[in-house]
Amino acid sequence: MDAHEKGFFTEENSVEVVTGRNKNAKDERLKQIMEVVTRKLHEAVKEIEPTQEEWFQAVMFLTRTGQMCNEWRQEFILLSDTLGVSMLVDAINNRKPSGASESTVLGPFHVKGAPELPMGANICLDQKGEDMVIGGRILDTTGQPIKDAVLDVWQANDEGFYDVQQQGIQPDFNLRGVFRTGADGRYWFRAVKPKYYPIPNDGPVGQMLDHLGRHPNRPAHLHYIIKADGFETLITHIFDPDDPYINSDAVFGVKESLLAKFRHTRDPDRARTYEFDGDFWEVEHDFVLARVGEKRG
C-alpha cells in the first residue's frame, strides 16, 4: 500500500480515504478545493443520512438541472443564485474600499453590443410603461467626477420581461443602452419604471423553490455595468425600495446601499421637456468606483 493510501473505505475514515487518493494531483489548487469539497460533502451526507431513494432523487435533480442548460439557459447558475452562492462569490471577489458602490449579481439577461446612446436618450423603444427619468454621477472615492465612464444599462419592462425573453414582441435592445460620461461625470437617460419578475422557474430550480415554499421573484431593479480606465469595473443594480419583494429577492441580490429613491413626479413643464405625456418617476443615484489597487476599507 502506498503511503498516501489510507486503507479500505469505512464510514468513519471516508474523508481521509477519498482525499488521500488525490495525493499526486497535478494541480495544487484543485487538490485543495477537492479536499474541502469532499470534507464538507461527506459531513453533509453523514448528518443527513439520506435513504438510497433520497440520494437518487438528488442525482436526478442535478441531472435535470444539466439537461435544462442550453446556449441561453444556465440552470446551474440559477441554482447557485437561489442558494446564495452567486452572491457569496460576488462578495468575496468584490470587497471594496469604504465609500465605493457595492456590487451585486450580473444575472443572465445582459446582452453585449447594446447601442451607445447620447446622454438623455429614451431606452424604452415601445412606449409601454410608466415614464421614468434616471440620473446621477459617476465619482471616485474622493468625490471627484469620472470622465469617460461607460455605463451599460438594462432592465425589464413594466410586465417584468427583458427584450430577449420576448423576441418578436419587444423591439431588439428595448430597455438597453450604453452611455459615456463627460467631464462632470454625470449620466442620465429616460426609461420606464421596472417591475418585479420571476427568475426563469419552469425548470428544476423553479420546482425546488416551489417545494421549499419560496417565491421566484426579484424586486424591481435596473442593471448597470460601469467601466472606466484605471477603475475596478462595477456590476450592480439599483432597486425600488417600495417593491413588494424587496426583502425576499429570490437570488439575495439586494443590499441596503443599492436602494434608490423612486419619486413620483407631477410637473407638466418638465414632463414636456422629457417628451413624457404626464406624471413620471424620477430616480437620482450616484455610483462611486474604486481605483484599481485602491486599499479596501
For residue 100, the minimal CB distance to ligand BEZ (Å) is: 21
Handedness of CA 261, 230, 140, 117 (dihedral sign): negative
Using the structure block, give the residue that is written with the C-alpha cell 421573484: 217
For residue 132, the minimal CB distance to ligand BEZ (Å) is: 18
Which among 64-72, 105-113, 251-259, 270-278 is the span making contact with Fe ion, rule CB under 5 A? 105-113
Rule CB under 6 A: is residue 123 a binding residue for ligand BEZ? no
Which among 3-11, 20-28, 102-110, 256-264 is the span making contact with ligand BEZ, rule CB under 6 A? 102-110
Rule CB under 5 A: is residue 194 a binding residue for Fe ion? no
Helices 75-82 and 52-67 sit at what angle, rounded to 10 degrees?
A: 120
**Partner touching 105 among ligand BEZ, Fe ion, none, CB below 5 to 8 Å by kind:** ligand BEZ
Is-contact 258 96, C-beta < 8 A? Answer: no
Rule CB under 6 A: is residue 105 a binding residue for ligand BEZ? yes
Report the site for ligand BEZ in 164-203 (rule: CB under 6 A). 199
Rule CB under 6 A: is residue 107 a binding residue for ligand BEZ? yes
Write the secondary structure of 174-236 as one string of H (helix), E (strand) and C (coil).
CCEEEEECCCCCEEEEEEECCCCEECCCCCHHHHHHHHCCCCCEECCEEEEEEECCCECCEEE
DSSP letter, residue 87: H
Report the residue number, 51 or 247, with the smaller CB distance to ligand BEZ: 247
Q: Which residues contact 106 (CB under 8 A, 6 or more apart)?
A: 223, 225, 235
- Give kind and range of the element (H or E) at residue 75: helix 75-82
Which among 30-38, 105-113, 259-267, 289-297 is the span making contact with ligand BEZ, rule CB under 6 A? 105-113
Rule CB under 5 A: is residue 107 a binding residue for Fe ion? yes
Residues making contact with ligand BEZ (CB under 6 A): 78, 81, 105, 107-109, 199, 218, 251
